[in-house]
């Protein structure tokens, strides 16, 4: 077992909180992907997230909070439709971008006048956030716990694989098993009259429109350039990802269970539906790298729910690093 890994007993949680207070990093599971956490009000601790990830420091981080009651700590303005979204979907795979409060320093927001906040739906994440708030913590800043541009980790082992060489001895990785959703949260900009989807996730546009009674605008590319997850080459394994090809001998293959594996092709995942596709995708891409495969062919799901998020990530992964 890695020196960083910790299971999630009550003692481990108390110790994790001590590490956050001391300015160390604590990686933790959420329902989407694992996050690399630091005390969101500690500039020095947050700076370490950027260096461990190798991420440019003008890319904003998401602040994780234990409940929607804490939104007002981080945001100076919360429109009614954002409250409706928070009520309906938190805890859950949704990040709201709001006008920031004074607490949200440039070191968390990448210098933008907005802040991303999220209440994750995972017992370990919520236990950590609640215990941290009990001792006066305001929130935990956490990007996905991978090196910049790589595939997000959906298990504690994947976090260790990504970051062990960059963490210091006082940092921790909480092991909470495999993530249930598997792709990152839906990011919704709530600073305008209408909600704008900056990054698709498990929460679909239709769900947002139903909860708010408003039209949701989808933003693509240039406009959302500061959303690092919207860079064209992101979420990429070392193997080349091919989306529109018939696999040949020696290539990896990810496709719905109903699609047969051509002979000589290495099947990496056979999900039964789009939800399972999302759950399995990142670990299957990691498996391709672990096996040293040069290329992986993926047959994309066609669904309009989480399928949109899967196709978004695959398109970026296919652009390579």
Q: How far apart are CA 167 and CA 188, in angstroms?
A: 31
Q: Identify the bridge partners of residue 27 per DSSP, sorted by sequence position.
A: 36, 173
- Output the smallest distance, CB 264 to Mg ion, in A: 34
CB 73, CB 172: distance < 8 Å: no
Selected range binding Mg ion among 89-97, 100-108, 141-149, 245-253, rule: CB under 5 A: 141-149
Find the binder of ligand TXA among 79, 91, 92, 116 (CB under 6 A). Answer: 116
Binding residues for ligand TXA restricted to 33-92, rule: CB under 6 A: 33, 35, 59-62
Task: Rank residues 91 and 252 by Cβ distance to ligand TXA and give the closer one.
Answer: 91
Count of residues making up the chain:
321
Find the binder of ligand TXA among 6, 41, 42, 114 (CB under 6 A). Answer: 114
Asked if residue 144 binds Mg ion (CB under 5 A), the reply is: yes
Residue 31's alpha-carbon distances to 152, 210, 238, 278, in angstroms, are 13, 23, 25, 12
- Output the smallest distance, CB 235 to Mg ion, in A: 8
Task: Rank residues 143 and 305 by Cβ distance to ligand TXA and give the closer one.
Answer: 143
- Beta-carbon count within 10 A of 219 CB: 15
Q: What is the CA radius of gyration of the chain?
A: 19
Binding residues for ligand TXA restricted to 201-230, rule: CB under 6 A: 226-229
DSSP string, 103-125: TS-HHHHTT-SEEEEE----HHH
Alpha helices in 200-304 (DSSP H): 205-212, 274-290
Binding partner at 252 among Mg ion, ligand TXA, none, C-beta below 5 to 8 Å by kind: none
Residues interacting with ligand TXA, by CB under 6 A?
Answer: 30, 32-33, 35, 59-62, 95, 97, 109, 112, 114-116, 118, 120, 142-144, 184-185, 187, 198, 226-229
């Amino acid at each position: 077992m890695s020196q960083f890994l910790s299971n999630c007993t009550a003692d481990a949680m108390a110790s994790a909180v001590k590490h956050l207070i001391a300015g160390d990093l604590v990686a933790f599971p959420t329902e989407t992907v694992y996050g690399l956490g630091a005390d969101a009000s500690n500039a020095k601790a947050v700076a370490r997230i950027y260096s461990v990830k190798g991420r440019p420091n003008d890319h904003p981080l998401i602040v994780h909070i234990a409940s929607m009651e804490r939104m007002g700590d981080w945001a100076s303005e919360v429109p009614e439709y954002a409250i409706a979204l928070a009520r309906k979907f938190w805890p859950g795979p949704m990040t709201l971008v709001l006008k920031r409060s004074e607490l949200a320093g440039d070191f968390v927001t990448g210098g933008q006048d907005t802040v991303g906040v999220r209440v994750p739906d995972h017992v370990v994440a919520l236990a950590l956030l609640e215990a941290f708030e009990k001792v006066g913590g305001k929130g935990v800043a956490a990007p996905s716990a991978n090196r910049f541009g790589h595939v997000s980790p959906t298990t504690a082992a994947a976090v260790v694989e990504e970051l062990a060489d960059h963490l210091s001895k006082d940092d921790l990785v909480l092991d909470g098993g495999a993530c249930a959703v598997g792709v990152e949260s839906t990011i919704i900009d709530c600073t305008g009259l209408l909600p704008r989807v900056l990054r698709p996730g498990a929460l679909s546009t239709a769900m947002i429109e139903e909860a708010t009674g408003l039209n949701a605008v989808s933003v693509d590319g240039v406009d959302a350039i500061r959303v690092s997850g919207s860079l064209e080459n992101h979420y990429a394994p070392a193997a080349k990802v091919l989306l529109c090809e018939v696999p040949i001998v020696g290539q990896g293959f990810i496709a719905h269970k109903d699609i047969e594996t051509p002979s000589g092709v290495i099947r990496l995942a056979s999900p039964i539906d789009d939800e399972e596709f999302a759950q399995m995708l990142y670990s299957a891409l990691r498996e391709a790298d672990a096996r040293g495969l040069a290329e992986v062919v993926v047959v994309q799901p066609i669904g309009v729910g989480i399928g949109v998020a899967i196709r978004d990530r695959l398109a970026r992964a296919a652009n390579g690093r």
